[in-house]
Amino acid sequence: MPEFTILPPLSLYIHLPWCVKKCPYCDFNSHTYDSGLPEDEYINALISDLEYQLPTIWGRRIISIFIGGGTPSLFSAESIHKILSTVRSHLNCLPDMEVTMEANPGTVEQNKFNGFYQAGVNRLSIGVQSFDDKKLLALGRIHNADESYNAVAVARKAGFENINLDLMFGLPDQNLQQCLSDLQQAIDLFPQHISWYQLTIEPNTFFYNQPPVIPEDDDIWEMQQQGQQLLAGADYLQYEISAYAKNNQQCKHNLNYWQFGDYLALGAGAHGKISRADTGEINRYWQIRKPADYMQASVENKTSGRESIKTDQIIFEFMLNSLRLKQGFEIQTFEQNTGLNVSLISTRCEQAIAEGLLQRKGESYAPTERGYLFLNDLINLFS
């Protein structure tokens, strides 16, 4: 059983589950809508959900907020303002904390973006995915490259100085040149952060049932090698498997996930993790998936499941997350965020080191170059 001397840092995740259209590769909890978003009803549900959960985190400080989806930018600035101001009034928040919102280039209006910024959102994550209109069509996106350029311009004009662009590679029929060209166009927009990730075909998606032709493994390998060089040459340093940041402007919210921090979950299908100092428990919970059901459920019934994670699982989940970071983890972070003694993992760490997948750097463990490429094999040593 974990014992916490200090509780892990706490973030807040808010899920806004609607999209104009479901993308064929997406297996997130997103839903289309027929007539008008039930914005007010949903925001009220979020607020009552928050109020109900407050006792579980009483007295703790929030270090970051992430509004994800779905397509959060479908919501009005007023709605975003309402939820954020409620959060600020109810919770102790870190000064100048990172507040990220996801936006799709197809849903951009200057006034709206101005409003988001004024509501307190200070980081935008824009789902560009590609600058090639044909590829965007194949991915089922509703926007084109021009709209992506426009979205970045509008965001800057609204005041955003911390922007992430989401970009994919290994797209259907993509070749190396197209892949690098996408990346170069993203770099030329000089965002603070680029999430550059390989398209993976997930179960329960359209692509899973009707798989597109994606490039061969060896071609994808080439894209990854050359793409990473391109990014490094432009000072975007990889700090996680798919995350690259300039001038150390890493995503603080995601870092908290990867370092096994705590997070409060609001919204349909949102997942939370809360550690308790009194019992030493680490609890995971997840809210009702379907937006209508989530809104209708009484405030004490918005959670659809919860589990207390046992020591073995805690270790596995910690490794699953923290070894995604290029720098690995500090022993102190392990002990603080799991509430466990590092001796519990030392044998397996030694084995991973012997297999050439892990290295010890001072008071940290980090994947070796090979371990970073075969991360699943490395993580499985801890399962």
Partner 1 sequence: MQNIRNFSIIAHIDHGKSTLADRFIQTCGGLSEREMEAQVLDSMDLERERGITIKAQCVSLDYKANNGEIYQLNFIDTPGHVDFSYEVSRSLQACEGALLVVDASQGVEAQSVANCYTAIELGLEVMPILNKIDLPAAEPERVAQEIEEIIGIEATDACQVSAKSGIGIDELLERLVEEIPAPEGDPDAPLKALIVDSWFDSYVGVVTLVRIIDGSIRKGDKMQIMSTGRSFGVDFVGIFTPKREDMPVLECGQVGFIIAGIKEIDSVKVGDTITLQDNPADEVLEGFKEVQPRVFAGMFPVEADDFENFREALDKLTLNDSALQFEPESSTALGFGFRIGFLGMLHMEIVQERLEREYDLNLITTAPTVVYEVLKTDGNIIQIHNPSDLPEVNYIEEIREPIIQANILVPQEYVGNVISLCIEKRGVQTNMQYMGAQVALTYDMPMSEVVLDFFDRLKSVSRGYASFDYEFKYFQESKLTKVDILINSERVDALAVIVHADASQRRGREVADKMRELIPRQMFDIAIQAAIGRQIIARSTVKALRKNVTAKCYGGDVSRKKKLLEKQKKGKKRMKQFGRVEIPQEAFLAVLKVDS
Question: Does residue 317 belong to the site contacting partner 1 (CB under 8 A)?
Answer: yes
Say whether residue 354 binds partner 1 (CB under 8 A).
Answer: no
217 counts as binding partner 1 under rule CB under 8 A: yes
| CB distance 239 to 327 below 8 Å | yes
Residues in the interface with partner 1 (CB under 8 A) total: 43
Q: Does 208 bind partner 1 (CB under 8 A)?
A: no
Q: Out of 86, 198, 359, 368, name the contact with partner 1 by CB under 8 A.
A: 198
How many Å apart are CA 114 and CA 94, to the nearest integer?
23
| Long-range CB pairs of 173-177, under 8 A, 24+ apart, other chains included | 173/138, 173/212, 173/213, 173/215, 174/135, 174/214, 174/215, 174/223, 175/215, 175/219, 176/219, 176/222, 176/223, 176/226
Least distance from partner 1 to the Cβ atom of residue 102, Å: 11
Q: Among 75, 113, 116, 372, indicate the residue that binds partner 1 (CB under 8 A).
A: 372
Candidates 321, 336, 337, 338; binder of partner 1 (CB under 8 A) is 321
Footprint (CB under 8 A) of partner 1, residues 245-264: 254, 257-258, 263
Instruction: Return all residues near 244 (Cβ < 8 A) that are at least 6 apart.
Output: 193, 194, 195, 196, 231, 236, 237, 238
Cβ–Cβ < 8 Å for 118, 80: no
User: Which two structure tokens, joined as six digits, stand for 57?
Assistant: 């985190």
Under the binding rule (CB under 8 A), the answer on residue 381 touching partner 1 is no
Using rule CB under 8 A, residue 290 touches partner 1: no
If binding is defined by CB under 8 A, does position 294 make contact with partner 1? no
Is 353 a residue that touches partner 1 (CB under 8 A)? Answer: no
Q: Which residues in 250-357 belong to E strands, given as ranges? A: 262-266, 271-275, 282-287, 303-308, 329-330
The reply to whether 304 sits near partner 1 by the rule CB under 8 A is no
Q: Name the one range near partner 1 by CB under 8 A: 42-50, 53-61, 184-192, 199-207.
A: 199-207
149 touching partner 1, by CB under 8 A? no
State the minimum distance, in angstroms, from the CB of residue 40 to partner 1. Answer: 26
Distance (Å, whole) CA 280 – CA 339: 8
Q: According to DSSP H, which parts of 62-205 are helical?
A: 77-90, 110-119, 133-138, 145-158, 176-188
> Between residue 269 and residue 288, which ones bind partner 1 under the rule CB under 8 A?
270-273, 284, 286
Q: Please give the structure tokens belonging to residue 256.
A: 């908290």
Q: What angle do CA 227, 229, 233 make, to 5 degrees?
A: 120
CB of 123 to partner 1, least distance (A): 15
Binding mask 222-241 for partner 1 (x = CB under 8 A): --x----------------x
What are the Cα distances from residue 214, in Å, to 81, 269, 304? 41, 30, 36
82 binds partner 1 (CB under 8 A): no
* Cβ at position 230, least distance to partner 1 in Å: 18
Site residues (CB under 8 A) for partner 1? 13, 27-28, 66, 68, 197-200, 202, 217-218, 220-221, 224, 241-242, 254, 257-258, 263, 265, 270-273, 284, 286, 316-317, 320-321, 324, 370, 372-377, 379-380, 383
